[in-house]
Structure 1
Protein backbone atom coordinates (compact mmCIF):
# COMPACT_ATOMS: atom_id res chain seq x y z
CA UNK A 1 0.00 0.00 0.00
CA UNK A 2 1.36 3.37 -0.93
CA UNK A 3 2.11 5.78 1.91
CA UNK A 4 -0.34 8.64 2.32
CA UNK A 5 1.27 12.03 1.92
CA UNK A 6 1.29 13.99 5.16
CA UNK A 7 0.91 17.75 4.87
CA UNK A 8 3.06 19.65 7.33
CA UNK A 9 0.99 21.59 9.88
CA UNK A 10 1.46 25.34 10.19
CA UNK A 11 4.75 26.13 11.91
CA UNK A 12 3.91 28.51 14.73
CA UNK A 13 7.25 28.23 16.50
CA UNK A 14 8.84 31.50 15.41
CA UNK A 15 7.58 34.92 16.40
CA UNK A 16 7.37 37.11 13.32
CA UNK A 17 6.23 40.66 12.72
CA UNK A 18 7.83 42.14 15.78
CA UNK A 19 9.50 45.50 16.15
CA UNK A 20 7.88 48.85 16.70
CA UNK A 21 4.20 48.90 15.81
CA UNK A 22 3.08 51.14 12.98
CA UNK A 23 1.02 54.11 14.11
CA UNK A 24 -2.20 53.30 12.28
CA UNK A 25 -3.87 56.58 13.20
CA UNK A 26 -1.02 58.63 11.76
CA UNK A 27 -0.86 56.47 8.65
CA UNK A 28 -4.62 56.74 8.11
CA UNK A 29 -4.50 60.53 8.50
CA UNK A 30 -1.75 60.69 5.88
CA UNK A 31 -3.59 58.39 3.49
CA UNK A 32 -6.78 60.46 3.76
CA UNK A 33 -4.85 63.68 3.15
CA UNK A 34 -3.23 62.22 0.04
CA UNK A 35 -6.59 60.85 -1.12
CA UNK A 36 -8.23 64.25 -0.78
CA UNK A 37 -5.53 65.81 -2.95
CA UNK A 38 -5.94 63.07 -5.56
CA UNK A 39 -9.72 63.45 -5.46
CA UNK A 40 -9.44 67.17 -6.24
CA UNK A 41 -6.74 66.86 -8.92
CA UNK A 42 -7.85 63.78 -10.90
CA UNK A 43 -11.64 63.53 -11.42
CA UNK A 44 -11.41 60.24 -13.30
CA UNK A 45 -10.08 58.52 -10.17
CA UNK A 46 -12.67 59.94 -7.79
CA UNK A 47 -14.87 56.80 -7.69
CA UNK A 48 -11.85 54.66 -6.70
CA UNK A 49 -10.54 57.14 -4.14
CA UNK A 50 -13.97 57.70 -2.62
CA UNK A 51 -14.71 53.98 -2.32
CA UNK A 52 -11.34 52.85 -1.01
CA UNK A 53 -10.37 55.76 1.26
CA UNK A 54 -12.62 58.78 1.67
CA UNK A 55 -15.78 56.90 2.65
CA UNK A 56 -13.92 54.54 5.00
CA UNK A 57 -13.35 54.90 8.73
CA UNK A 58 -9.98 53.20 9.15
CA UNK A 59 -6.97 51.71 7.40
CA UNK A 60 -8.26 48.21 8.17
CA UNK A 61 -11.59 48.89 6.48
CA UNK A 62 -9.86 50.54 3.53
CA UNK A 63 -7.58 47.55 3.08
CA UNK A 64 -10.49 45.10 3.06
CA UNK A 65 -12.31 47.21 0.46
CA UNK A 66 -9.28 47.47 -1.81
CA UNK A 67 -8.68 43.74 -1.72
CA UNK A 68 -12.37 43.04 -2.27
CA UNK A 69 -12.36 45.18 -5.39
CA UNK A 70 -9.30 43.42 -6.82
CA UNK A 71 -10.10 39.81 -5.92
CA UNK A 72 -13.81 39.67 -6.75
CA UNK A 73 -14.86 36.95 -9.20
CA UNK A 74 -18.09 35.46 -10.48
CA UNK A 75 -17.72 32.53 -8.10
CA UNK A 76 -17.05 34.89 -5.16
CA UNK A 77 -18.25 38.46 -5.77
CA UNK A 78 -17.18 41.52 -3.87
CA UNK A 79 -20.30 41.37 -1.73
CA UNK A 80 -18.97 38.15 -0.17
CA UNK A 81 -15.24 38.85 -0.14
CA UNK A 82 -15.35 42.32 1.36
CA UNK A 83 -17.33 41.45 4.53
CA UNK A 84 -15.21 38.33 4.99
CA UNK A 85 -11.96 40.27 4.74
CA UNK A 86 -13.32 43.03 6.97
CA UNK A 87 -14.16 40.47 9.64
CA UNK A 88 -10.77 38.75 9.46
CA UNK A 89 -8.69 41.93 9.37
CA UNK A 90 -10.64 43.68 12.13
CA UNK A 91 -10.54 40.54 14.27
CA UNK A 92 -6.77 40.05 13.95
CA UNK A 93 -4.97 43.30 14.70
CA UNK A 94 -1.60 41.96 13.59
CA UNK A 95 -2.82 41.93 9.97
CA UNK A 96 -3.35 45.70 9.93
CA UNK A 97 -0.06 46.20 11.74
CA UNK A 98 1.82 44.01 9.26
CA UNK A 99 0.14 45.58 6.22
CA UNK A 100 0.94 49.07 7.50
CA UNK A 101 4.57 48.12 7.99
CA UNK A 102 4.65 46.67 4.45
CA UNK A 103 3.11 49.81 2.98
CA UNK A 104 5.61 52.06 4.75
CA UNK A 105 8.50 49.83 3.67
CA UNK A 106 7.47 50.26 0.05
CA UNK A 107 7.10 54.00 0.41
CA UNK A 108 10.43 54.42 2.21
CA UNK A 109 12.60 52.05 0.15
CA UNK A 110 11.22 52.39 -3.39
CA UNK A 111 12.48 55.62 -4.98
CA UNK A 112 9.68 55.43 -7.56
CA UNK A 113 7.00 55.57 -4.86
CA UNK A 114 6.10 59.21 -4.19
CA UNK A 115 3.14 58.74 -1.83
CA UNK A 116 2.09 56.15 0.78
CA UNK A 117 -1.27 56.08 -1.00
CA UNK A 118 0.33 54.62 -4.11
CA UNK A 119 0.91 51.07 -2.76
CA UNK A 120 -2.62 50.88 -1.37
CA UNK A 121 -4.16 51.82 -4.70
CA UNK A 122 -1.78 50.36 -7.25
CA UNK A 123 1.10 48.15 -6.01
CA UNK A 124 0.36 44.49 -6.60
CA UNK A 125 3.25 43.48 -4.33
CA UNK A 126 1.51 45.17 -1.41
CA UNK A 127 -1.87 43.69 -2.32
CA UNK A 128 -0.41 40.21 -2.80
CA UNK A 129 1.21 40.32 0.63
CA UNK A 130 -1.99 41.60 2.21
CA UNK A 131 -4.01 38.83 0.55
CA UNK A 132 -1.47 36.30 1.86
CA UNK A 133 -1.93 37.69 5.39
CA UNK A 134 -5.68 37.05 5.27
CA UNK A 135 -5.11 33.61 3.72
CA UNK A 136 -2.55 32.77 6.41
CA UNK A 137 -5.08 33.57 9.12
CA UNK A 138 -7.64 31.37 7.40
CA UNK A 139 -5.04 28.58 7.22
CA UNK A 140 -4.23 28.99 10.91
CA UNK A 141 -7.96 28.82 11.66
CA UNK A 142 -8.15 25.48 9.77
CA UNK A 143 -10.19 27.03 6.96
CA UNK A 144 -7.69 25.61 4.51
CA UNK A 145 -9.87 25.31 1.43
CA UNK A 146 -10.76 28.99 1.62
CA UNK A 147 -7.11 29.91 2.24
CA UNK A 148 -6.08 27.96 -0.87
CA UNK A 149 -8.87 29.60 -2.87
CA UNK A 150 -7.46 33.05 -2.13
CA UNK A 151 -3.94 31.84 -2.89
CA UNK A 152 -5.20 30.78 -6.30
CA UNK A 153 -7.07 34.02 -6.96
CA UNK A 154 -4.07 36.08 -5.82
CA UNK A 155 -1.91 34.11 -8.23
CA UNK A 156 -4.26 34.93 -11.11
CA UNK A 157 -4.63 38.59 -10.13
CA UNK A 158 -1.13 39.58 -8.99
CA UNK A 159 1.09 36.94 -10.69
CA UNK A 160 2.44 35.78 -7.32
CA UNK A 161 2.14 32.39 -5.62
CA UNK A 162 2.47 32.54 -1.83
CA UNK A 163 1.40 29.45 0.08
CA UNK A 164 -0.86 30.44 2.99
CA UNK A 165 1.08 28.26 5.44
CA UNK A 166 4.32 30.18 4.85
CA UNK A 167 5.43 32.49 7.66
CA UNK A 168 6.15 36.06 6.59
CA UNK A 169 7.07 38.91 8.90
CA UNK A 170 6.31 42.56 8.32
CA UNK A 171 8.11 45.51 6.81
CA UNK A 172 8.44 43.52 3.57
CA UNK A 173 9.20 45.30 0.31
CA UNK A 174 7.98 43.11 -2.54
CA UNK A 175 9.03 45.21 -5.51
CA UNK A 176 7.23 44.59 -8.83
CA UNK A 177 6.20 41.17 -7.43
CA UNK A 178 5.66 39.35 -10.75
CA UNK A 179 6.49 35.63 -10.52
CA UNK A 180 7.26 35.70 -6.79
CA UNK A 181 6.86 32.15 -5.42
CA UNK A 182 6.93 31.09 -1.76
CA UNK A 183 6.61 27.48 -0.66
CA UNK A 184 4.57 26.05 2.19
CA UNK A 185 7.25 25.88 4.89
CA UNK A 186 9.22 29.02 3.99
CA UNK A 187 9.96 31.60 6.68
CA UNK A 188 10.66 35.28 5.93
CA UNK A 189 11.53 37.45 8.91
CA UNK A 190 10.85 41.18 9.29
CA UNK A 191 12.37 43.94 7.15
CA UNK A 192 13.32 41.97 4.04
CA UNK A 193 13.40 43.40 0.50
CA UNK A 194 12.61 41.14 -2.45
CA UNK A 195 12.49 41.90 -6.15
CA UNK A 196 10.50 40.18 -8.88
CA UNK A 197 10.85 36.58 -10.11
CA UNK A 198 12.26 35.33 -6.81
CA UNK A 199 11.52 31.72 -5.83
CA UNK A 200 11.71 30.35 -2.31
CA UNK A 201 11.19 26.74 -3.26
CA UNK A 202 11.92 23.12 -2.48
CA UNK A 203 14.22 20.70 -4.26
CA UNK A 204 12.05 17.64 -4.74
CA UNK A 205 9.15 15.63 -3.32
CA UNK A 206 10.27 15.54 0.31
CA UNK A 207 7.79 16.66 2.97
CA UNK A 208 8.29 18.55 6.21
CA UNK A 209 10.39 21.71 6.48
CA UNK A 210 11.76 21.94 2.95
CA UNK A 211 11.74 25.64 2.01
CA UNK A 212 14.16 28.48 2.81
CA UNK A 213 14.48 30.64 5.91
CA UNK A 214 15.18 34.30 5.16
CA UNK A 215 16.44 36.23 8.18
CA UNK A 216 15.83 39.93 8.76
CA UNK A 217 17.57 42.63 6.76
CA UNK A 218 18.16 40.48 3.66
CA UNK A 219 18.05 41.88 0.12
CA UNK A 220 17.16 39.36 -2.63
CA UNK A 221 17.83 40.47 -6.20
CA UNK A 222 15.54 39.89 -9.18
CA UNK A 223 15.33 36.35 -10.48
CA UNK A 224 17.12 34.72 -7.55
CA UNK A 225 16.14 31.12 -6.77
CA UNK A 226 16.68 29.92 -3.20
CA UNK A 227 15.94 26.20 -2.94
CA UNK A 228 15.67 23.78 -0.06
CA UNK A 229 15.80 24.29 3.70
CA UNK A 230 18.68 26.73 3.48
CA UNK A 231 19.09 29.74 5.74
CA UNK A 232 19.96 33.19 4.44
CA UNK A 233 21.63 34.94 7.37
CA UNK A 234 20.76 38.39 8.67
CA UNK A 235 21.73 41.42 6.60
CA UNK A 236 22.93 39.32 3.68
CA UNK A 237 22.56 40.04 -0.01
CA UNK A 238 21.64 37.61 -2.82
CA UNK A 239 22.63 38.78 -6.30
CA UNK A 240 20.15 38.91 -9.15
CA UNK A 241 19.78 35.64 -11.04
CA UNK A 242 21.57 33.57 -8.40
CA UNK A 243 20.68 29.99 -7.50
CA UNK A 244 21.26 29.42 -3.78
CA UNK A 245 21.49 25.80 -2.62
CA UNK A 246 23.34 26.16 0.69
CA UNK A 247 23.29 28.36 3.77
CA UNK A 248 24.47 31.96 3.48
CA UNK A 249 26.27 33.45 6.51
CA UNK A 250 25.09 36.76 7.95
CA UNK A 251 26.50 39.99 6.47
CA UNK A 252 27.73 38.32 3.27
CA UNK A 253 26.96 38.69 -0.42
CA UNK A 254 26.40 35.67 -2.66
CA UNK A 255 26.01 35.46 -6.41
CA UNK A 256 26.22 33.00 -9.27
CA UNK A 257 24.89 29.61 -10.38
CA UNK A 258 25.30 27.91 -8.01
CA UNK A 259 25.73 30.87 -5.68
CA UNK A 260 28.95 31.37 -3.76
CA UNK A 261 30.21 34.04 -1.40
CA UNK A 262 31.67 36.96 -3.36
CA UNK A 263 32.08 39.50 -0.58
CA UNK A 264 30.64 41.05 2.52
CA UNK A 265 27.56 43.23 2.71
CA UNK A 266 28.89 46.78 2.76
CA UNK A 267 25.63 48.12 4.23
CA UNK A 268 24.56 47.59 7.82
CA UNK A 269 21.10 46.63 6.56
CA UNK A 270 20.95 45.78 2.82
CA UNK A 271 17.15 45.49 2.82
CA UNK A 272 16.81 49.14 3.80
CA UNK A 273 19.59 50.50 1.60
CA UNK A 274 18.49 48.64 -1.57
CA UNK A 275 22.00 48.84 -3.08
CA UNK A 276 22.35 45.83 -5.39
CA UNK A 277 26.06 46.18 -6.09
CA UNK A 278 27.82 42.94 -5.18
CA UNK A 279 30.95 44.48 -3.58
CA UNK A 280 33.08 41.53 -4.69
CA UNK A 281 36.42 40.77 -3.06
CA UNK A 282 38.08 40.59 -6.49
CA UNK A 283 37.31 42.69 -9.58
CA UNK A 284 34.81 41.11 -11.97
CA UNK A 285 35.99 40.32 -15.47
Structure 2
Protein backbone atom coordinates (compact mmCIF):
# COMPACT_ATOMS: atom_id res chain seq x y z
CA UNK A 1 0.00 0.00 0.00
CA UNK A 2 1.23 3.49 -0.79
CA UNK A 3 2.13 5.94 1.96
CA UNK A 4 -0.74 6.64 4.35
CA UNK A 5 -1.24 10.24 5.49
CA UNK A 6 -1.90 9.83 9.18
CA UNK A 7 -1.73 12.92 11.42
CA UNK A 8 0.96 14.60 9.38
CA UNK A 9 2.12 17.89 10.86
CA UNK A 10 0.23 20.97 9.70
CA UNK A 11 1.57 23.45 12.25
CA UNK A 12 -1.49 23.24 14.51
CA UNK A 13 -0.84 25.28 17.64
CA UNK A 14 -2.55 23.45 20.47
CA UNK A 15 -2.06 26.34 22.88
CA UNK A 16 -3.65 28.82 20.48
CA UNK A 17 -6.71 26.59 20.10
CA UNK A 18 -6.92 26.30 23.86
CA UNK A 19 -6.75 30.07 24.35
CA UNK A 20 -9.62 30.57 21.92
CA UNK A 21 -11.67 28.05 23.87
CA UNK A 22 -10.97 29.76 27.19
CA UNK A 23 -12.04 33.13 25.79
CA UNK A 24 -15.28 31.75 24.37
CA UNK A 25 -16.04 29.90 27.61
CA UNK A 26 -15.68 33.13 29.58
CA UNK A 27 -18.08 34.91 27.21
CA UNK A 28 -20.72 32.18 27.40
CA UNK A 29 -20.39 31.99 31.19
CA UNK A 30 -21.28 35.67 31.49
CA UNK A 31 -24.33 35.29 29.22
CA UNK A 32 -25.63 31.90 30.36
CA UNK A 33 -25.55 31.50 34.16
CA UNK A 34 -27.08 28.05 33.84
CA UNK A 35 -23.89 26.80 32.16
CA UNK A 36 -21.55 28.32 34.73
CA UNK A 37 -20.88 25.10 36.63
CA UNK A 38 -20.27 23.10 33.45
CA UNK A 39 -17.93 25.69 31.92
CA UNK A 40 -16.03 26.17 35.17
CA UNK A 41 -15.51 22.45 35.57
CA UNK A 42 -14.56 21.61 31.99
CA UNK A 43 -12.69 24.72 30.81
CA UNK A 44 -12.22 27.67 33.13
CA UNK A 45 -10.67 25.71 36.00
CA UNK A 46 -8.34 23.80 33.66
CA UNK A 47 -4.90 24.71 32.38
CA UNK A 48 -4.78 22.89 29.03
CA UNK A 49 -6.79 21.31 26.24
CA UNK A 50 -5.71 17.88 27.46
CA UNK A 51 -7.16 18.49 30.91
CA UNK A 52 -10.39 19.88 29.48
CA UNK A 53 -10.80 16.94 27.10
CA UNK A 54 -10.25 14.44 29.91
CA UNK A 55 -12.87 16.13 32.09
CA UNK A 56 -15.45 16.43 29.30
CA UNK A 57 -15.09 12.77 28.34
CA UNK A 58 -15.22 11.66 31.96
CA UNK A 59 -18.48 13.57 32.45
CA UNK A 60 -19.96 12.04 29.30
CA UNK A 61 -18.75 8.45 29.68
CA UNK A 62 -19.07 7.84 33.43
CA UNK A 63 -21.59 5.28 34.59
CA UNK A 64 -21.98 2.53 37.15
CA UNK A 65 -19.37 0.36 35.41
CA UNK A 66 -16.72 3.05 35.88
CA UNK A 67 -17.51 6.22 37.79
CA UNK A 68 -16.21 9.67 36.99
CA UNK A 69 -13.87 9.39 39.97
CA UNK A 70 -12.34 6.30 38.36
CA UNK A 71 -12.43 7.55 34.77
CA UNK A 72 -10.89 10.97 35.32
CA UNK A 73 -7.42 9.88 36.51
CA UNK A 74 -7.30 7.21 33.80
CA UNK A 75 -8.06 9.74 31.07
CA UNK A 76 -5.70 12.36 32.50
CA UNK A 77 -2.90 9.79 32.47
CA UNK A 78 -3.55 8.63 28.89
CA UNK A 79 -3.63 12.19 27.54
CA UNK A 80 -0.57 13.23 29.53
CA UNK A 81 1.47 10.24 28.36
CA UNK A 82 0.32 10.43 24.73
CA UNK A 83 0.21 14.09 23.62
CA UNK A 84 -0.51 13.02 20.03
CA UNK A 85 -4.13 12.50 21.11
CA UNK A 86 -4.41 16.12 22.25
CA UNK A 87 -2.69 17.38 19.09
CA UNK A 88 -5.12 15.29 17.02
CA UNK A 89 -8.04 16.77 18.93
CA UNK A 90 -6.76 20.29 18.18
CA UNK A 91 -6.56 19.40 14.47
CA UNK A 92 -10.10 18.04 14.57
CA UNK A 93 -11.43 21.13 16.36
CA UNK A 94 -9.81 23.41 13.80
CA UNK A 95 -11.26 21.34 10.94
CA UNK A 96 -14.76 21.53 12.40
CA UNK A 97 -14.63 25.32 12.74
CA UNK A 98 -13.31 25.70 9.19
CA UNK A 99 -15.82 23.37 7.51
CA UNK A 100 -19.03 23.41 9.55
CA UNK A 101 -21.08 26.60 9.08
CA UNK A 102 -22.95 25.77 12.28
CA UNK A 103 -19.75 26.09 14.33
CA UNK A 104 -17.85 29.31 14.97
CA UNK A 105 -15.68 28.36 17.94
CA UNK A 106 -13.50 25.34 18.85
CA UNK A 107 -15.22 25.34 22.23
CA UNK A 108 -18.55 24.23 20.78
CA UNK A 109 -17.45 20.76 19.57
CA UNK A 110 -15.83 20.02 22.93
CA UNK A 111 -18.96 20.97 24.82
CA UNK A 112 -21.78 20.01 22.47
CA UNK A 113 -20.81 17.99 19.35
CA UNK A 114 -20.91 14.24 19.80
CA UNK A 115 -18.98 13.59 16.57
CA UNK A 116 -15.88 15.22 18.01
CA UNK A 117 -16.32 13.49 21.36
CA UNK A 118 -16.79 10.13 19.64
CA UNK A 119 -13.61 10.51 17.59
CA UNK A 120 -11.72 11.57 20.71
CA UNK A 121 -12.99 8.49 22.56
CA UNK A 122 -11.87 6.35 19.62
CA UNK A 123 -8.37 7.83 19.82
CA UNK A 124 -8.14 6.80 23.48
CA UNK A 125 -9.39 3.30 22.72
CA UNK A 126 -6.87 3.07 19.85
CA UNK A 127 -4.03 3.99 22.20
CA UNK A 128 -5.09 1.24 24.58
CA UNK A 129 -5.27 -1.16 21.62
CA UNK A 130 -1.77 -0.46 20.32
CA UNK A 131 -0.48 -0.65 23.90
CA UNK A 132 -1.82 -4.20 24.20
CA UNK A 133 -4.66 -3.29 26.60
CA UNK A 134 -7.36 -4.74 24.37
CA UNK A 135 -10.01 -5.24 27.05
CA UNK A 136 -9.83 -1.56 28.00
CA UNK A 137 -9.89 -0.61 24.32
CA UNK A 138 -13.07 -2.60 23.79
CA UNK A 139 -14.57 -1.00 26.89
CA UNK A 140 -14.11 2.50 25.49
CA UNK A 141 -15.43 1.37 22.12
CA UNK A 142 -18.58 0.10 23.82
CA UNK A 143 -18.95 3.39 25.72
CA UNK A 144 -18.75 5.43 22.52
CA UNK A 145 -21.33 3.18 20.89
CA UNK A 146 -23.69 3.46 23.86
CA UNK A 147 -23.29 7.19 24.53
CA UNK A 148 -22.72 8.67 21.06
CA UNK A 149 -24.23 6.09 18.70
CA UNK A 150 -20.84 5.72 16.99
CA UNK A 151 -19.08 2.34 16.71
CA UNK A 152 -15.40 2.47 15.71
CA UNK A 153 -13.22 -0.60 16.21
CA UNK A 154 -10.17 0.41 18.28
CA UNK A 155 -7.79 -1.19 15.77
CA UNK A 156 -8.99 1.05 12.92
CA UNK A 157 -6.53 3.74 11.84
CA UNK A 158 -7.91 7.28 11.61
CA UNK A 159 -5.92 10.42 10.82
CA UNK A 160 -6.40 14.02 11.96
CA UNK A 161 -8.46 16.93 10.72
CA UNK A 162 -11.60 14.77 10.76
CA UNK A 163 -15.07 16.29 10.61
CA UNK A 164 -17.62 13.72 11.76
CA UNK A 165 -20.78 15.75 11.22
CA UNK A 166 -23.89 14.70 13.19
CA UNK A 167 -22.16 11.30 13.72
CA UNK A 168 -25.15 9.09 14.54
CA UNK A 169 -24.74 5.48 13.32
CA UNK A 170 -21.18 5.92 12.02
CA UNK A 171 -19.59 2.45 11.91
CA UNK A 172 -15.93 1.60 11.19
CA UNK A 173 -14.51 -1.91 10.97
CA UNK A 174 -11.28 -3.28 12.39
CA UNK A 175 -8.93 -2.88 9.41
CA UNK A 176 -10.33 0.37 8.00
CA UNK A 177 -8.00 3.30 7.33
CA UNK A 178 -9.09 6.95 7.15
CA UNK A 179 -6.39 9.45 6.22
CA UNK A 180 -6.12 13.09 7.29
CA UNK A 181 -8.62 15.79 6.30
CA UNK A 182 -11.69 13.65 5.62
CA UNK A 183 -15.28 14.80 6.17
CA UNK A 184 -17.97 12.27 7.03
CA UNK A 185 -21.71 12.68 7.46
CA UNK A 186 -24.00 10.55 9.64
CA UNK A 187 -24.94 6.90 9.02
CA UNK A 188 -21.78 6.12 7.06
CA UNK A 189 -20.49 2.53 7.25
CA UNK A 190 -16.94 1.39 6.48
CA UNK A 191 -17.61 -2.33 6.63
CA UNK A 192 -16.50 -5.74 5.44
CA UNK A 193 -18.27 -8.08 3.05
CA UNK A 194 -18.34 -11.34 4.99
CA UNK A 195 -16.26 -13.62 7.20
CA UNK A 196 -12.92 -13.12 5.46
CA UNK A 197 -9.94 -12.23 7.64
CA UNK A 198 -7.02 -9.86 7.13
CA UNK A 199 -7.41 -6.45 5.50
CA UNK A 200 -11.11 -6.45 4.72
CA UNK A 201 -12.34 -2.88 5.32
CA UNK A 202 -12.07 0.30 3.22
CA UNK A 203 -9.19 2.74 2.83
CA UNK A 204 -10.34 6.37 2.62
CA UNK A 205 -7.69 8.77 1.30
CA UNK A 206 -7.16 12.40 2.22
CA UNK A 207 -9.66 15.05 1.14
CA UNK A 208 -12.60 12.65 0.67
CA UNK A 209 -16.19 13.63 1.43
CA UNK A 210 -18.53 10.78 2.41
CA UNK A 211 -22.20 11.75 2.12
CA UNK A 212 -24.86 10.79 4.65
CA UNK A 213 -25.75 7.11 4.65
CA UNK A 214 -22.95 6.01 2.34
CA UNK A 215 -21.99 2.34 2.73
CA UNK A 216 -18.48 1.37 1.65
CA UNK A 217 -17.89 -2.36 1.86
CA UNK A 218 -14.77 -4.48 1.52
CA UNK A 219 -11.12 -3.59 0.98
CA UNK A 220 -11.88 -0.87 -1.54
CA UNK A 221 -9.95 2.38 -1.82
CA UNK A 222 -11.64 5.76 -2.02
CA UNK A 223 -9.05 7.86 -3.83
CA UNK A 224 -7.75 11.23 -2.70
CA UNK A 225 -10.21 14.07 -3.18
CA UNK A 226 -13.11 11.79 -4.16
CA UNK A 227 -16.75 12.32 -3.26
CA UNK A 228 -19.33 9.64 -2.39
CA UNK A 229 -22.95 10.70 -2.71
CA UNK A 230 -25.49 10.27 0.08
CA UNK A 231 -27.05 6.82 0.31
CA UNK A 232 -24.55 5.22 -2.07
CA UNK A 233 -23.25 1.66 -1.76
CA UNK A 234 -19.61 1.43 -2.87
CA UNK A 235 -18.24 -2.03 -3.70
CA UNK A 236 -15.27 -1.11 -5.92
CA UNK A 237 -12.33 1.30 -5.86
CA UNK A 238 -13.06 4.97 -6.54
CA UNK A 239 -10.42 6.89 -8.48
CA UNK A 240 -8.98 10.12 -7.05
CA UNK A 241 -11.05 13.28 -7.60
CA UNK A 242 -14.02 11.25 -8.84
CA UNK A 243 -17.65 11.56 -7.77
CA UNK A 244 -19.70 8.37 -7.38
CA UNK A 245 -23.32 7.83 -6.43
CA UNK A 246 -26.03 5.19 -6.53
CA UNK A 247 -26.72 1.60 -5.51
CA UNK A 248 -24.35 0.18 -6.49
CA UNK A 249 -22.29 3.36 -6.86
CA UNK A 250 -21.16 4.41 -10.33
CA UNK A 251 -19.05 7.29 -11.55
CA UNK A 252 -21.16 10.39 -12.19
CA UNK A 253 -18.36 12.87 -12.79
CA UNK A 254 -15.25 14.53 -11.47
CA UNK A 255 -15.02 16.24 -8.10
CA UNK A 256 -15.33 19.95 -8.78
CA UNK A 257 -13.03 20.72 -5.83
CA UNK A 258 -9.46 19.65 -5.21
CA UNK A 259 -10.48 18.56 -1.70
CA UNK A 260 -14.25 18.00 -1.32
CA UNK A 261 -13.80 17.37 2.40
CA UNK A 262 -12.76 20.98 2.91
CA UNK A 263 -15.51 22.53 0.79
CA UNK A 264 -18.33 20.31 2.12
CA UNK A 265 -20.29 20.78 -1.12
CA UNK A 266 -22.40 17.63 -1.46
CA UNK A 267 -23.89 18.44 -4.85
CA UNK A 268 -23.10 15.90 -7.53
CA UNK A 269 -21.38 17.07 -10.71
CA UNK A 270 -22.71 14.76 -13.40
CA UNK A 271 -21.32 13.63 -16.73
CA UNK A 272 -24.49 14.65 -18.53
CA UNK A 273 -26.66 17.63 -17.65
CA UNK A 274 -29.71 16.51 -15.72
CA UNK A 275 -28.34 13.00 -15.09
CA UNK A 276 -28.52 13.43 -11.34
CA UNK A 277 -29.98 15.81 -8.82
CA UNK A 278 -28.20 17.99 -6.30
CA UNK A 279 -28.12 16.74 -2.74
CA UNK A 280 -29.30 18.87 0.12
CA UNK A 281 -26.42 20.30 2.10
CA UNK A 282 -26.07 19.08 5.67
CA UNK A 283 -25.09 21.20 8.66
Please indicate, yes or no, whether the TM-score normalized by the shorter chain is above 0.5: yes
Quote how far apart the aligned CAs of 1:60 are.
Answer: 0.5
Matched, 1:145 2:139: no
* 1:173-252 correspondence to structure 2 within 5 Å: 173-252=163-242
Matching residue of 2:49: 59
Contact 1:166 1:187 in 2 (8 A): yes
Instruction: Tell me the number of residue pairs that the alignment of Structure 1 and Structure 2 aligns.
Output: 274
Runs of at least 4 residues off by over 2 Å: none
Matching residue of 2:280: none
Quote how far apart the aligned CAs of 1:210 are.
Answer: 0.3
Matching residue of 1:268: 258
Distance 1:15 1:262, change over 3 A: closer
TM-score when normalising by structure 1: 0.94
Higher alpha-carbon deviation: 15-24 or 217-226: 15-24
Matching residue of 2:123: 133
Matched, 1:258 2:260: no
Matched, 1:101 2:82: no
TM-score when normalising by structure 2: 0.95
* 1:2-21 correspondence to structure 2 within 5 Å: 14=4, 16-21=6-11
Pick from 29, 32, 42 the counterpart of residue 32 of structure 2. 42
Q: 2: CA distance between counterparts of 1:77 and 1:203?
A: 38
Matching residue of 1:5: none
- Could you list the per-position Cα deviations for residues 225-266 of structure 1 after superposition, in whole angstroms to 9, with x for gaps in the alignment? 000000000000000000000000001000000001100000
Contact 2:4 2:179 in 1 (8 A): no
Matching residue of 1:78: 68
Quote how far apart the aligned CAs of 1:108 are.
Answer: 1.0
Equivalent residue of 2:38, what SS?
helix
Q: 2: CA distance between counterparts of 1:179 and 1:15?
A: 25
Q: 1: CA distance between counterparts of 2:257 and 2:251?
A: 16
Equivalent residue of 1:29, what SS?
helix
**Structure 1: tracts of 5 or more residues without a match:** 1-12
Matched, 1:166 2:185: no
Contact 1:21 1:97 in 2 (8 A): no
